[in-house]
Amino acid sequence: MRKLIVAGNWKMNTTVPEGVELAKAIVEKAKGLPAGVELVVAPPFTHLASVADVLKGSKVCLSAQNCADHEKGAYTGEVAVSMLTSIGCQYTILGHSERRQYYGETDEKLVVKTKLALEAGLKVILCVGENLDEREAGKHFDVVTAQTKNVLYHFTADDLKNVVIAYEPVWAIGTGKTATAAQAEEIHACIRSVIAEKFGAAVAEDMTILYGGSCKPSNAKELFAEKDIDGGLIGGAALKADDFLGIAESF
């Protein structure tokens, strides 16, 4: 069975006290959420331990936004997967377009990070998506296919049980410009076929594929109604508990 997930990527927003308050509000409101939808929050590293305390005993899962590409050692400023699991982190986002664009994240590095995360028992939310130039040049299917293959084809069908994909067209992130449900669906279906090609139809069917990019309560219903869209990776709208839960109630 495919899992439905709504994950909130807080990016570099909120102070620790503000993040704790936001997490508390999400936990409170999540009590009314029907079973079958998993909520995930991804605060900045500094917030993780405090937010983990807030989430204890709730249905909300904790995610990091990134992890190091080494196990431990002299890598100033980096955070290892073992540090994340030690405070109860269950997920990490990897390959967000902002990391690819501003911090030189490559598919090769993502293979290493994904391997470390999975070995440590972390689930991975792997982001893929084309930028505006690539879409306008009609290359969006090729870009997303390559990003998916370049990372996931290094893993096994068993590994994929702990991987979620997030399709996030870069031109839709933080711009207020959402992909139409039809535009998102055709890419989600493409990603699923890329997975089926290597791992078989059953594995592809079970894969959770999220949409991200200006997703909000007013457009989530239409997006989530598509057969290959299994939830969302939410940026801006994840910073308000009401909006975040509004999206989670859109299935």
212 is an interface residue for ligand PGA by CB under 6 A: yes
Q: Give the whole-angstrom CA distance, residue 123 versus residue 148.
A: 16
List of residues 6+ apart from 155 with CB closer than 8 A: 114, 115, 118, 163
Known catalytic membership, residue 249: no
Q: Give the whole-angstrom CA distance, residue 138 versus residue 215.
A: 23
The residue among 156 and 180 lying less far from ligand PGA, judged by its C-beta, is 180
Interface characters, 64-93, with ligand PGA (x: CB under 6 A): ------------------------------
Considering only 63, 148, 214, 219, the residue that binds ligand PGA (CB under 6 A) is 214
233 is an interface residue for ligand PGA by CB under 6 A: yes
Q: Which of 38, 98, 134, 168 is catalytic?
A: 168
Q: How far is the CB of 156 from ligand PGA (least distance, A)?
A: 27
Known catalytic membership, residue 96: yes
9 is an interface residue for ligand PGA by CB under 6 A: yes
105 is an interface residue for ligand PGA by CB under 6 A: no
Interface characters, 162-201, with ligand PGA (x: CB under 6 A): ------x----xx---------------------------
Q: Which residue's CB atom is positioned nearest to ligand PGA?
A: 235
215 is an interface residue for ligand PGA by CB under 6 A: yes
42 is an interface residue for ligand PGA by CB under 6 A: no
The residues that touch ligand PGA, with contacts defined as CB under 6 A, are 9, 168, 173-174, 212-215, 233-237
What residues are labeled active site?
96, 168
